[in-house]
Amino acid sequence: MDYNSDSGWQLHPIGGDTGQAYMGTKEDQRIFLKKNSSPFLAALSTEGITAKLIWTKRSHNGDILTAQEWLDGRTLAPDEMASDDVITILRHVHGSQRLLNMLEQVQGKVYEPADFISDYQDGLHHDLVTHSWLNKVLAYLQDTADTIPCYHKTVCHGDLNRKNFIQSEEEQLFLVDWESVKISDPVFDLTYLLTHYVPLASWDEWFERYGLSITTKVYHRIEWYSLMSLLLLIKQEHFEGRNRQVNEKIILLRQIYQQRSLKS
């Protein structure tokens, strides 16, 4: 990366999956720099969901660089993910027509249920391909994918890991790392968070605080995306060698699937 060659900024790589993020330092100043971020970042900054966008420039080698305010703060702990502040920022994202319009303008990915199934099957490890219980759940999701209605797709973050929620020193909450953003059923975002961080017994209360009215059709969407989110999480945890977490998620998968059987 060549930006520091003529700007006076020193760049320090920040750990992450993409290797595209840097802390820029210049005298006593700090900024967050990222290569080739989506133009969607500007809309997120304007809405106050991410840190303030300072500038966008093209580097000598053609990369598009974005600079944002550096956030002095902390990531949320697992037990904070059910907080009202998290619910508030998700309602903001899912309810913003401006964000949806902007993401549509930059040709954001539109995800249907079948697309999530394809993501799960892509590069799936042999251990999971041959797992009879996971295959049973997968077959159910494949058979019912066309029956899951979504009348209003929204902006979905797509990776609501607690490490993507940053609380500043002023206690303002930001949602960062939008590499997985998509246009889809907001229930996918909600169940992704719930299957990661919220006990199943607390889901009804969480949905009530979010403001989601649980009709029969909404219940089926929650059920379908909960199972889908768990399959995707099991795939990820298995890839990372986190066997205990894989087993925990399989137990939760069984609980949700068995509840489906009791209600059918």
Backbone angles phi, psi at 69, to 5 degrees: -55, 140
Instruction: Please say whether the beta carbons of 9 and 24 come within 8 A.
Output: yes
Strand partners, 155: 183
159 flagged as catalytic: yes
Choose, from 122, 159, 185, 204, the residue flagged as catalytic. Answer: 159
Instruction: Please say whether the beta carbons of 158 and 182 come within 8 A.
Output: yes
Start-to-end CA distance of the chain, whole Å, equals 56
- Between the alpha carbon of residue 212 and those of residues 41, 93, 94, 209, 228, the distances in Å are 27, 15, 12, 8, 19
Q: Hunting for tokens 């246009």 — which residue is that?
A: 183
Assign 4 to helix, strand or coil.
helix
Q: Alpha carbon 238 to chain centroid distance? A: 19
Q: Order the strands of the 165-168 sheet from edge to edge.
A: 73-75, 165-168, 173-175
Catalytically annotated residues: 159
